[in-house]
Amino acid sequence: MRKIFLTLGFALFAVPAYAGTVLFVGDSHSVGPFGWRVDALLREAGQKTATYASCGSIAQWWVTGKPTPCGYFFRDLEGKTEKGQKGRTPIFTELLAEIKPEAVIVELGANYAGLPSDEFAIRDMAGLAEKIKASGAACFWVTRPDSRKGREDIPRILELTYKAVSDKCRIFDSTKVTRYPETGGDGTHYWSPEGTPIAKAWAQHVYDWAAPDLPGAQPKR
């Protein structure tokens, strides 16, 4: 009997307690290994998590529902997963209303590199951050990572991101924990054998950064 109780005790200890509700949205990086790992880490920690990633997206797509031509990854609060090549980007306000998150993690920014207007990029990102703030959820913004292609654009994109959301969100500078391999991959995405370990490590860094301030987090001792 004592052995049974001990077994049950260990089982209960191993199951994380419910912590809170988190919405995680992102672009192509979150369609791949980085996003999968962030989603897994949140769920393993007991966060009730919904993840929606749309390849190629900027904040505007999450307002207009513009379809992605290059891939999506959705996993709802119950863990039901949808993947595909082409599909409509979810409407962000609808996700907020349905999920009612206590925290929102956003991984967006890389796709502003090809846009000529800095003012548009700032307004676009700021608008999404304002929606998060208005909902009452905590905002965590993850910047674009390093890349081999377009590395010269990174300082500009980081500057625009900070201008847009630093007064509304905590910001994680992904370039500090990523360095794109000099060979392999497509120069942008971390989906290759060389890039996947970096993507997973990046995800761990992001989770460790956000975890102390996520809903239900245990106070630091």
| pLDDT confidence of residue 1 | 44
Q: Which residue in the block uniquely carries the two structure tokens 């991984």?
A: 107
CATH topology of domain 21-213: Rossmann fold (3.40.50)
Which residues lie across from 124 on neighbouring strands? none
In the chain, what are the domain boundaries?
A: 21-213
| pLDDT confidence of residue 19 | 79
pLDDT tens string, the chain, 221 residues long: the values are: 444 333 434 334 444 555 799 999 999 999 999 999 999 999 999 999 999 999 999 999 999 999 999 999 999 999 999 999 999 999 999 999 999 999 999 999 999 998 879 999 999 999 999 999 999 999 999 999 999 999 999 999 999 999 999 999 999 999 999 999 999 999 999 999 999 999 999 999 999 999 999 998 754 43
| pLDDT confidence of residue 124 | 98
